[in-house]
Chain A
Amino acid sequence: MKKAIVIDLKDNVATLLADVDANDVVQVMMGDKTTKTKVQERVQFGHKFAMKAINKGQNVVKYGEVVGQATKDIGEGQHVHVHNVESLRGRGDLA
């Protein structure tokens, strides 16, 4: 089975260790435990998907830390990347 990894238990995203197609079920490693999750869409190796629903404006958490904010509602198993997350740092455009 294709694998993904959750780095910190506080994370709401997992990183894929293989390319997956829509509706593929992947084995997710979380510390000593593993769980299974269905990925909703085609997502590339190394990219992330949501482990649970993340609403617009909510923080995206990886490494147990905030890595950005959702710009749209993201459903469980959906691809999480630049199309639905924005950085909160170095935003001279907002200054």
Chain B
Amino acid sequence: MRFQGYRRKNGSVGVRNLVAVITTTGCINELPKLISRKIPGTIPLGHNLSCSHLGDDLEQSTRTLANLAGNPNIFGAVLVGMGCEQMSPEKIYRDIQKLEKPIEMLMLKEVEDWNELIRRGRNAAQRMSEQALKQEREEVELGEISLAIKCGGSDTTSGVVSNPVAGFVADRIISEGGTVVFTETPEILGAEHVLAKRAINKDVADKVLEAAKNTERRIMEMGVDLRGSEPTPANIAGGLTTIEEKSLGAIVKAGSAPLQGVLNYGERPSGKGLHFMDGPARTAELLAGIAGAGCQLMIFSMGGGLPSLLPMLPAAPARFPLMPVIKMSGNPDGYEKRKDFIDIYVGSVIEAGETIDQAGERLLQEIVSVASGQKQTIYEKGAYEEPLLIQIDGPSL
């Protein structure tokens, strides 16, 4: 199978062609907005972090910001900042250069004039946008796709219908030579041994088990019962009884391919195939991490219930510009009320005897249409102006 994408200098292929205006500090989230406003295909990327985090968190956030610019959907980036922030703009700049992306950097420290900084930033973004608009899509193999799969607003139909459909697609993308990344460490608790058995070697198996163990240890140290938040009250209303049940249903979305590697948050996989990212389940932080991993699009597999009645993704910015997100639901119960907010409906497996494979083939076609730019997803439409949330694990100072 093939799709139409934007081939980058480093060999990766974008499904969108965006110029990112990225700030190195959340002190000035207004700046990327002012710079990118009304410049075609240009997106502002503010975020939650300034001089407020330490050690591994600093490394994690620096890596994530550079890798967001490295996402195949990004043509090039304009990096803006203060010049006094804790994250090193120079390091981020060099890392983006290594990814062979067009990059310009502007710091208030050098320009010393806010309005001049905006003017220069707009000039840089304008130049880059003009270059980006000259690039055309070309036909490429489906194996160029790196697909993220997440589940949310889960109920028992997730594990029975929409996650198996996602799993079918995951296996197909991998068999075509592509990459699939899934994450949500809290939602592998009770299923980590199943994933570990699928690891390609002991090192990868140990990393999965370790990720689950660390998350569970931190919960235990709080002296609380995870059941206060996992499964969520909405999950329980939908019939999910325990985190083990939720997790075992959740990992079905990753299909059945061997597990090639475990990634840190915001880290790019070194090879193709199935990868697990050790990271949070909360959508807002997950989106930045998974876009950093270089995924060009994401499937959001949902059940029914209140979260599925939202036009946006639950617990996420109202829009996320870096990757199109395809919302899928397999719950026929009350589907009429949410049909305007679901890109692909697979409740037909329950209602109309469609097989998982048939629904999976439909989802694959949807992915090709969205990747080729013939279709915009519901979540993709509209303007985006909210800052990203980058995960930190230590204290926020």
Contact = CB atoms under 8 A, between A and B. Distances in A.
Interface of A: 3, 5, 7, 15-17, 44-48, 60, 62-63, 65-68, 80-82, 85-95
A89 B241 contact: no
Nearest to B236: A82
Contacts, number: 106
Interface string B214-258: 001001111111110010000010110111110011001000000
Residue from the set B191, B238, B248 with the largest chain A CB neighbour count within 10 Å: B248
30 contacts: A7-B160, A15-B156, A15-B239, A17-B350, A45-B333, A46-B155, A46-B157, A46-B239, A48-B239, A62-B245, A63-B159, A63-B249, A65-B194, A65-B244, A66-B190, A67-B190, A67-B248, A68-B241, A82-B236, A85-B241, A85-B242, A87-B190, A87-B241, A87-B244, A89-B226, A90-B227, A92-B219, A92-B223, A94-B225, A95-B220
A87 B226 contact: yes
Interface in B150-208: 155-157, 159-160, 189-191, 194
A67 B241 contact: yes
A5 B220 contact: no
A32 B155 CA distance: 24
Given A46-B331, A89-B189, A90-B225, A65 B242 contact: no
B235 to A, nearest CB: 10
A81 B239 contact: yes
A93 B220 CA distance: 8
Given A15-B160, A65-B248, A92 B220 contact: yes
Contacts of A3: 350
Given A48-B156, A81-B239, A88 B220 contact: no
